[in-house]
Copies of this chain bind each other. A is one copy, B any other.
Amino acid sequence: MLTLWDHRFAQRTQRMESSAIRELLKFTENPDVISFAGGMPAPEVFPIEKFKEACLTVLDQNGPASLQYGSTDGYAPLREMIARYSARYGINVTIDNILITSGSQQALDLLGKILINPGDGVLVESPTYVGALQAWRAYGAEFVPVPTDEDGMMTSKLESCLRAGPKFIYALPNFQNPTGSTLAYDRRLKLIELAENYGVPIVEDDPYGQLRFEGENLPAIEVLDSQTRAQEECYSGNVIYLSTFSKTLAPGIRLAWVIAPPPVITKLIQAKQGTDLHTSTFNQMVAYEVAKDGFLYEHAKLIRKVYKERRDVMLDTLSEYMPEGVSWTHPKGGLFLWVTLPECLNSQDLFKDAVAEKVAFVPGDSFYAEGGGFNTMRLNFSNACPERINEGIFRLANVLKKHLVANS
C-alpha cells in the first residue's frame, strides 16, 4: 500500500532494503526450526556468571559513572585494554588509534559516512559480508567486486579493479563471512603492495581472527602494512582495522572497535557524535570488567573447541548426506561454511521448502554485490549443537535431493 509517506523518503532509501539475513532471523525464533542462518554465537558459551559478577562490580564501584553519559571515543580503560590485547597480535597502537563502536556494523556505517561520496567505488570480495553492502549502499557506494577462491580475494585480479579508482578496499581476511575462506599470506602481501601503489586504503574486518581451529595464525593486514612503514609514518598507515567483542564475548552488548590512524579516528568521532553520541557506558565498563584480567584468551580457547567440534560435525554430515554435485568449503575457523549447489538449483527456491522442513540457511545471492550466486548458500555452524547440526543437514540434504529429482 502506498502511503503519504512514500514520496517523503530520501533517494538513498530506494537502495535500502531489509537484509535477507535479518529477515531470516525471525525463522530462528521457532525452536522447531534448526537454523544455519544468522551468524549467532553458541549461547552455551556465553560467560553468564562472569557477566553477573562484572555488573555488580561496576554498579558497586562505578555506579553513577556507568549510568551517565560518556565520551564519544569510548571508555579509556577499555581502549587501553584493547591496545594491550592487540599488541599480542602484533598490532602496536595507543588509545588514540582506537574508537569504541556499537558493534562492527556501526564501524561500517561510520566509515561509509566519512569516506563515501555518492557514486564512489568500493572494492569488495565477491561474495562478501552483506551487512557491509547494506551499510554502504545507503551512502551511494558502487561496488567493484573482486573474485575469491579458497585462498580468499584473488589478488591476481585486483589490479584491474584498482584501476577503477575505488575509495577503499574491503577485506575480510580470516574465515570470511560468508565463505569461511582465509586470505593466503602471499596474497596479503600482494594486497598491501597494490593498495599502496594505487593509494587506496584497506578496511580490514576481522571479527573471527581469534577463532582459528587449526593451522597457524596469519598476521593481520594491519600488521603487515605497518611493517612496510617507518615509525614516523604512523599517520599515513593505509589500513583501518575492525574487530569486535561479539564473537569472543557476546553480541548482545554491541561492542566493537576501530583501529586507525589518528586523522581517521578524529573524523569517525565527529561522525559518531551525530550518530549516537557514544556507545553504552555501562556495557563498556562491564566488558572491561569481564575481560581485563586476560579472560578473553582463556574463553577463546573454549569457543574454538566448541566451534571446531560443530564445524567437524557439519563437514562430516555434509559428506554423509549430500548428493553428488554439491560442494562446500572447509574453513579453518570462524562461524560459516559455504555450499555450492549444482547450477540447476536455486537456493531461494530451496529455502522455502527447507523452512517447511524446519531447517534454515541463508541463500547466497545476497552476498554478491553484483548479483548472481543463486546456486550458493551460507551455513552457520556455531549456533546449533552437534545433534541439531546432524539432524539439520539431514533435512537439508533431503530437500535438496527432492529438488534435484524435480529438475532431472
Contacts and interface: CB of A to CB of B under 8 A. Distances in A.
A13 interface: yes
Contacts of A134: 273-274
Interface in A1-39: 1, 3-6, 8-13, 16-19, 22, 25-26, 38-39
Interface stretch (A142-150, A261-269, A370-378): A261-269
B106 A276 contact: yes
19 contacts: A6-B263, A9-B267, A11-B117, A12-B113, A13-B113, A18-B273, A22-B71, A38-B69, A41-B68, A46-B67, A51-B63, A52-B60, A55-B55, A70-B252, A105-B274, A108-B274, A254-B276, A254-B279, A254-B280
Would you call the interface of chain A mostly helix, strand, loop, or mixed? helix
A210 interface: no
A342 interface: no
Given A4-B236, A252-B281, A44 B64 contact: yes
Nearest to A17: B270
A9 B114 CA distance: 6
B252 A67 contact: yes
B283 A10 contact: no
Contacts of A351: none
A383 to B, nearest CB: 9
Q: How many copies of this chain? A: 2
Interface of A: 1, 3-6, 8-13, 16-19, 22, 25-26, 38-41, 43-44, 46, 48, 51-52, 55-56, 59-60, 63-72, 102-103, 105-106, 108-109, 113-117, 120, 131, 134-135, 137-139, 167-168, 199, 201, 235-236, 246, 250-254, 261, 263-264, 267, 269-271, 273-283
